[in-house]
Amino acid sequence: MITVPLSPLPLQIHGVSLVCRRDRRFLLVRRGKEPWKDWLAFPGGSVEAGETAEEAALRELKEETALDAGSLAHLITVDLALEGKAYEKSYYLSVFRAFDLSGIEQAGDDAVSIHWLTIEEMAKVNVTESTLDVARCVAEREDGP
């Protein structure tokens, strides 16, 4: 299981994702593109030139879900090359906890659909192990064991 927080941000962040919660449910999007097409994941995507990881996280949340976050907290940075065969070389993904969500969620960009799932529901669908681990850590930290 991943311990949150695990590490400081590496010098080169390639992508970001956001953990959003409401009523003990996590916001997941069904991915419309590879890698992990048709799997559920936290909203997120690539950092564009000139963006900070935080700026990219807020932009990706808006693009994929139409939601805004009032604040972010860095949770963990993972190397996705260590998980499966989707990446041949290191791809650092910084995961942020999003707070104070506003707006009405609507799937956009490469998100096919939006789902609010409990950890138990997440364990029964196609989500990566790291997504489930991060969700479990966040729930334990916020809700207790």
Which range among 2-6, 84-88, 111-115 shows the weakest confidence by mean pLDDT? 2-6
The two structure tokens encoding residue 137: 């850590």
10 prior amide bond cis, ω within 30:
no
Q: What is the pLDDT at residue 124?
A: 96
| CATH of region 11-143, choose from 3.30.750.24, 3.10.20.740, 3.90.79.10, 1.10.760.10 | 3.90.79.10
From the list 51, 50, 65, the residue with the least C-alpha distance to 111 is 65
Distances (CA, A) of 113 to 32, 33, 36, 106: 9, 12, 14, 8
pLDDT in tens, 25-70: 999 999 988 878 899 999 999 999 999 999 999 999 999 999 999 9
CA 71 to chain centre: 15
pTM of the entire structure? 0.83
Q: What is the mean pLDDT of the chain?
A: 86
pLDDT in tens, 73-84: 999 888 766 565
CA 83 to chain centre: 15
